[in-house]
Structure 1
């Protein structure tokens, strides 16, 4: 059996780059493909902060529906945007080799970092909390839109800088020279990774995608997402998590922050790669038992009001 694999994607420049990367990989393995771009709710509503919109799945729901209705066969996502529980009938097809997981600051000069006055823009609770943890006197404002829109908003504003994922800017080759790596900031679980999903009952597409899977990236992002799933319980929260493989050991660092950045509960652990089952869960439970349950209650209370 042979068929044209319809690839569902958001229609932003970055999303289309990701989808075309998957398209090229599939065609190299002899498959016929077609791109099907759609707009998501997250792209259409740029007025509200993401956490006010119920961030879980805001960028993936439209494509999920298109898959379930049979309008597309597979969908390509930035994995950090994908809820930790996939919709019924949809499964992971492949995790592509991960790009940079770093957050970077695009700035208009870094002198303000030595002062107590500064305004930084980000639409991410995680980035906001970590910035305020390090720079408690600074002001953090909301920033929405695709990467091009956000760069333009920064240029047109009087802000000192804005925080971006390095991978997004590098993929579409618009990373400016005025940036610094935020090596101290723990990235979002699965940041820099691309996920391709398929319908569970579609053996043809699942087999086609299996050849694209990068095992080391899959191991790391699964640990990070398990950490996120156990910690958040379906609630948006300022959570960072990063797993790295070095010399057959997996090193994991994760943290939960209060929204104002004043409180930080962190965990670090290293295990042999063949012993990492439940690593993410165990690290999340350690945080929950170390005042994390109380902090999550406070976060939910703030976000629900």
Structure 2
């Protein structure tokens, strides 16, 4: 175990928390580690909505380059930020046990706006579309930056609230007392999961990291990302998916959603299958949506997001 495993990460508080978590787990197994922070374009370009930057994986690209060039051995990501197709030579090494999958609304103490007109903020098209579907009279403002930056922007603006992933706030103890769990909102595919990627030819690192893998989290995120990939949605399209394992009857329950940008069109699917049918669950669910009108909407979305 002489090799020191260099862990690449973004330099936000949440990303560093994730990298340190992986580092500690590897240290506990007897491996030496070093954390190497890298700034990504997604952290630098904050004045444009993500979809306008026109590329998926803006948060992962810089780390991919660092790994391919040998500066780091592994990279730790929020799995929902990772494109469904990894670059050549890079492989999924482990999915850690999943945390809270929910989105939540952080508000300022007064929730009357939920019954009238209101303004909330989010940088996610998925959250925006689902919010407008439920609250068609509301306004949604764009909100970018790491968790701490977004929290500050919420304080500095006269918005009624902003939407965050619960897992991110919980991991760095930023969850305020004024929040509402959005249990009706379908999360991003793989939300709440942490992914470790490595080079496919680095057996020492792959063997080390494989020990951190949680099989249930690996299967549920695989299904959700397969659903996303089959719909051909980058991480910018308004697509949500959640798969859950039920140990009582050994089944998987899946819910998927595709919406128009304004939230007016919504395609939803729900399926429960025996555990042994997990490998194609996301694929079949997405195909069903595409065949029932989703294909036309996906074409429309691609055109709109090009502009």
User: 1:210: Cα distance to partner?
Assistant: 0.6
User: 1:35: Cα distance to partner?
Assistant: 0.2
Structure 2 residue 59 is matched with structure 1 residue 54: no
User: How do 1:1-305 and structure 2 match up within 5 A?
Assistant: 2-108=2-108, 109-115=110-116, 117-232=117-232, 234=234, 236-247=236-247, 248-305=250-307
Query: Partner of 1:148: helix, strand, or coil?
Result: helix
User: 1:23: Cα distance to partner?
Assistant: 0.1
Query: Partner of 2:244: helix, strand, or coil?
Result: strand
| Distance in 2 separating the partners of 1:126 and 1:287 | 16
- The Cα RMSD (Å) is 0.9
CA-to-aligned-CA distance 1:16-51 (integer Å, 9 cap, x gap): 000000000000000000000010000001000001
Contact 2:237–2:301 at 8 Å: present in 1 too?
Answer: yes
**Moved beyond 3 Å, runs of 4+:** 233-236
User: 1:233: Cα distance to partner?
Assistant: 5.1
| Distance in 2 separating the partners of 1:265 and 1:171 | 32
User: 1:301: Cα distance to partner?
Assistant: 1.1
Contact 1:235–1:300 at 8 Å: present in 2 too?
Answer: no
| Distance in 2 separating the partners of 1:60 and 1:233 | 17
Contact 2:54–2:306 at 8 Å: present in 1 too?
Answer: no
5+ residue gaps, structure 1? none
User: 1:246: Cα distance to partner?
Assistant: 0.8
| Distance in 2 separating the partners of 1:83 and 1:290 | 25
5+ residue gaps, structure 2? none
Query: Partner of 2:204: helix, strand, or coil?
Result: helix
| Distance in 1 separating the partners of 2:55 and 2:137 | 27
| Distance in 1 separating the partners of 2:278 and 2:23 | 32
| Distance in 2 separating the partners of 1:156 and 1:195 | 33
The number of residue pairs the alignment matches comes to 304
| Distance in 2 separating the partners of 1:56 and 1:200 | 22
Change (3 A) 1:295 1:220: same
User: 1:192: Cα distance to partner?
Assistant: 0.3
CA-to-aligned-CA distance 1:123-146 (integer Å, 9 cap, x gap): 000000000000001000000011
| Distance in 2 separating the partners of 1:191 and 1:233 | 16
